[in-house]
A and B are shown apart, each in its own frame.
Chain A
Amino acid sequence: MKHSTRRHVAAAVTVVASLVSLASLDSNPTETYTSAALEGPPIVLTDAAPSAKRTLRAAVASTDARAIGLSVSGTVAWSGAAAGQAADAGQGFGDGAFCAAKLGPLGATAEQAGTLPGRIGEPFRWDMTLSCEPQLGICSRDFELDVVLLRAPPGAEVTITWTAVASVVLDVTTPAPASVTVTLLP
């Protein structure tokens, strides 16, 4: 190979090697692992207590966690004298009331949280995923489930039956975690 050609080839290989090195970081494939379901005690909302908050912690013992998420699903039902009146009037359970839930990182601003409606009588599912910064091999994030009764007939009692499942996105080039857990904090 001529000297000038070799010089150009060396420069080109240097550039390619630099790009391959940069692209090499963060190239590991990932896989999502989920926890066992946590069935929380029902949340009961009334005119007198139209909102409730629950703090949940999703955690995994791993240095490889990239994202950790929480999924809350269940149903919203209502009862009380107003329910009977609505049934007598031929209204469906979804007609008279609904609530909203804000699921987000504890203490976060509204922009970081997801707000989704849950119509009474219909199943709901609220999801939130956050990036994770493992510290000392443990990654945990606290989520706040903030449920508010937006509209309900006077005297209605709204019961939210819910289940939470945590998920974690992990690098699969290292061993899988022992477990991913979700707990309800006091």
Chain B
Amino acid sequence: MTPGDSKQAVPGDGLLRPIPLVALVVLALNDHVLKTAWPGVVTGKLSDIAGLAFFPLLLQALWEQGLVIAARPWGPSRRALAVATLATLLVFALAKTWGPANELVRDAAGGLSWPFRAAWACLQGVALPRAGRPMLVRDPTDLLTLPALLLAWWSRRV
């Protein structure tokens, strides 16, 4: 990080670089349009690649925003990004290969997404959804997409 970067830095600005922004758009587009239009291995893996390219930066951004909300000192940290990348790697790899980890991630995702699904149901005036668990496919071949994590690191240079 250069002194100029430090002067301009804001919490979560790791997500404002081209790679995570493109990855975010690709993930949303692929999940909600491309997978339905062209279901298959390519679209199946594309979401994993896009997700891995920005998820560590999202974790880092949430950490930085959390520090600001807690009125704690913060600064762009390579260590935070390293921890976020390692955590993403471990959780992704275990969820794709090990049943109990897959179940745990599904439980966590179901719990985290329920408030949003409930809010959406309220807006539509329909009954509140049950606290379900999303389906997370255990496919070890998804581990081939793990090098996409390097994009999160490379994005700091682009």
Contact = CB atoms under 8 A, between A and B. Distances in A.
* A interacts with B: yes
Interface of A: 3, 6-7, 9-11, 13-14, 16-29, 31, 63-64, 66, 134-136, 171-175
Interface residues of B, number: 41
Contacts, number: 109
Nearest to A135: B99
A18 B51 CA distance: 11
Contacts of B58: 14, 17-18, 21
B113 A173 contact: no
A27 B32 contact: yes
User: Interface residues of B: mostly helix, strand, loop or mixed?
Assistant: helix
A136 B138 CA distance: 10
B36 A29 contact: yes
A10 B12 CA distance: 5
Contact of B35 (A3, A11, A28): A28
Interface of B: 8, 10-13, 15-16, 20-21, 24, 27-28, 31-32, 35-36, 39-41, 43-44, 47, 51, 54-55, 58, 61-62, 65, 99, 106, 109, 112-113, 116, 134-139
A2 to B, nearest CB: 10
Contact of A21 (B55, B65, B99): B55
B15 A14 contact: yes
B35 A63 contact: no
Given A17-B58, A27-B31, A10 B39 contact: no
A172 B55 CA distance: 24
Given A7-B11, A29-B39, A22 B109 contact: yes
Contacts of A19: 116
Given A7-B11, A23-B31, A14 B62 contact: yes
Contacts of B109: 22, 25
A123 B136 CA distance: 39
A27 B35 contact: yes
B62 A63 contact: no
Given A14-B15, A22-B112, A29-B35, 19 more contacts: A6-B16, A9-B16, A10-B16, A14-B62, A14-B65, A17-B20, A17-B61, A20-B28, A21-B27, A21-B51, A23-B28, A23-B113, A24-B51, A25-B106, A25-B109, A26-B135, A29-B39, A136-B99, A175-B41
